[in-house]
A and B are shown apart, each in its own frame.
Chain A
Amino acid sequence: MLADQAMSVDSKTVKKIASLARIAMSDDEIEAMVPEFNGILGWVEQLGEVDVTGVEPMTAVIPNVLRLRDDVVTDGDIRDKVLANAPAAEHGFFGVPKVIE
């Protein structure tokens, strides 16, 4: 994207992003966030000034490949640990507020 087509957000967009991320924010906080978002977007868009024609996208700073694990069961059977931090757990299940769509 070229710098002169800079993307910008308004408070409505910030509100929607907050809602999608399930983060509760007051109107004041949202207003404060608008220039911060736009600052970040403007900074990222500066990168658009660099000509990267013919340059392969880079995914890691050092050459590295994705490692795969063997298909062996090495984990699990730690129910108590898994449930240890749960606000509610019963009969080996997590308990969450009833959610039916």
Chain B
Amino acid sequence: MTESTYRIQGATGEWEVVIGLEVHAQVTSNAKLFSGAATTFGAEPNAQVSLVDAAMPGMLPVPNGECVRQAVRTGMALNAQINRYSRFDRKNYFYADLPQGYQISQLYHPIVGEGAIEISLDEKNPDAHTKTIGIERLHLEQDAGKLMHDQHPTMSYVDLNRCGVALMEIVSRPDMRSPAEAGAYLKKLRSILRYVGSCDGNMEEGSMRADVNVSVRKPGDEFGTRTETKNVNSVRYVMATIEHEASRQVDVIESGGTIVQETRLYDPDKNETRSMRSKEDAHDYRYFPDPDLLPLELDDTFLDACKASLPELPDAKRKRYESELGLSAYNAAVLTAEAETARWFEALLTESAKAQGKPEAEVAKAAANWLLSELYGALNRMAKTIDDSPVSPAAGAELLALVAGGTISGTIAKQVFEIMLETGEGAGAIVEARGLKQTSDTGAIDAAIAKVLADNADKVEQYRGGKEALFGFFVGQTMKAMQGKANPQMVNELLKKALG
């Protein structure tokens, strides 16, 4: 797929889609952006509200240093310009989810300026097709409270627990041209945020949600009028929103209408977008600098500390896995997409190197293959994430060392792993207790071979007559007779001798 291939086929020809995303990411912090109330998800209604959040008269906001630090670290991870001078502004609107009557945000001087994210459009070969999506800005702002409309016949209930929680609004350039690109951008952004640790990326709990800006145009034309679909909370829904909104716009234009710049809502049940606000002055927010807050000025010491605290980011890690560990592009991409997977893999690598007394690069491939096939397979079956894995990296390394050292075969290793998952016992203990050790006892293997050849005299005849493909059959039969415990290489050698 290339970036220019996504087109909507209209009655008047092909249309191109132009997409920009504004992502709201909740900053991982204990306390809110301007108050000392807690941010934990799922608390009793209004239990995590201070008098600042409730906007009682005379209360003053004091910014949380950690939220500032996380915004700066995120900006650095997005290769963005960090603004040493930024300011907070008031965005005025009246709605029951925000008792202040204004949201404290950063319009004129955001904390982070322009940056970029590189997305990959080919999972199997991440470097084969990449595209750079520009980031326009990242700023800090307050979240609003939650309204529930279905609990009472005439009243809406308001819970202000979320009110005042720190959000990073990350605004992309209108650089995306297909739902797939928007999906890849969102996934990549989420991955970076989770590596940095500035946002948990939990879209179900609303820690990350996107406003989706969509317009359509004939390829090569000027940008069309865009609509903004608010608060879309999964990658899948973002992609569906774009598909539906773009088709709707093409239909409107082709039937002689014009697109109105408006806010829309995505309804996942009906899989459609619909108009949300049409009030003429809904967007007259009358921004002005918040007189309660001085400008935010950052010094070198602070910025250096932010920089020094950044972890290795997914792209750098992926490239290092390829170049230093010799992993395939695909394996490296899968292992580095999520910070947890990479952490687990690196622990496995360290333990494996230790257990086998070899450099990490020499044990990396086997470790990667085992993690991605055996461990992932088991976790999928059990519907568990890697953080809940019943087997630890050290236990995995013990198993891999037994295979690498020739104590057990790959086939037996699969059995041992199943027992590890069930019982929690160590690989070595399982092999010992159940007599699963691979044997290199030539006498026992020779005896097994002799019996296999005697039982299959006809096939021996055929093999000697030139049907060499039968060799695999003899190996299989011998391994079976040895209950999988024979050293496969030795079986090969001894069989060749016996048949030769």
Contacts and interface: CB of A to CB of B under 8 A. Distances in A.
A71 B46 contact: no
B295 to A, nearest CB: 6
Interface in A36-55: none
Contacts of A93: 45-46, 148, 151, 157-159
A67 B38 contact: no
Nearest to B34: A69
A69 B68 CA distance: 10
Contact of B276 (A20, A67, A79, A101): A101
Contact of B49 (A20, A71, A72, A79): A79
Contacts of A76: 35-38, 47-50
Contacts of B31: 69, 71-75
A88 B158 CA distance: 11
B374 interface: no
Contact of B65 (A65, A69, A81, A90): A69
Given A66-B296, A96-B156, A22 B94 contact: yes
A94 B296 CA distance: 34
Contacts of B338: none
B388 interface: no
Contact of A96 (B47, B158, B293, B297): B158
A26 interface: no
Nearest to B62: A69
B155 to A, nearest CB: 4
B156 A95 contact: yes
Interface string B303-343: 00000000000000000000000000000000000000000
Contacts of A98: 149, 152, 154-156
B499 interface: no
B95 A20 contact: no
- A65, A72, A75, A83: residue with the most chain B Cβ atoms closer than 10 Å: A75
Contacts of A70: 64-66
B51 interface: yes
Interface in A9-26: 16, 19-20, 22
A70 B35 CA distance: 10
B152 A66 contact: no
Contacts of B147: 99
A42 to B, nearest CB: 20
Contacts of B294: 59-60, 64-66
Contact of A68 (B64, B158, B281): B64
Contacts of A92: 44-47, 159
Contacts of B286: 20
Interface residues of B, number: 50
A91 B157 contact: yes
B68 A68 contact: yes
Contacts of A97: 154-156
A1 interface: no
Given A75-B36, A77-B48, A81-B51, A20 B65 contact: no
Given A22-B94, A94-B160, A69 B64 contact: yes
Nearest to B277: A101
A75 B46 contact: no
B46 A99 contact: no
B75 to A, nearest CB: 17
- A16, A76, A90: residue with the most chain B Cβ atoms closer than 10 Å: A76
A96 B48 CA distance: 19
A82 B49 contact: yes
B156 A20 contact: no
Contacts of A59: 294-295
Contacts of A88: 155
A99 B154 CA distance: 9
A67 B296 CA distance: 9
A32 to B, nearest CB: 22
A56 B38 CA distance: 38
B65 A71 contact: yes
A52 to B, nearest CB: 17
B146 to A, nearest CB: 9
B54 interface: yes
Contact of A20 (B35, B51, B52, B284): B284
A75 B96 contact: no
B281 A16 contact: yes
B30 A96 contact: no
B92 interface: yes
Given A66-B296, A73-B36, A94-B46, A100 B65 contact: no
Interface of B: 29-31, 35-38, 44-52, 54, 62-68, 92, 94-96, 147-149, 151-152, 154-160, 276-277, 281, 284, 286, 293-297
Given A68-B64, A91-B151, 11 more contacts: A69-B31, A69-B62, A71-B67, A75-B31, A75-B35, A76-B36, A76-B37, A92-B45, A93-B45, A95-B157, A100-B156
Give 8 nearest A-B pairs by CB, closest first: A71-B66, A74-B36, A68-B65, A76-B37, A93-B157, A75-B36, A75-B50, A94-B158
Interface of A: 16, 19-20, 22, 59-60, 64-79, 81-83, 88, 90-101
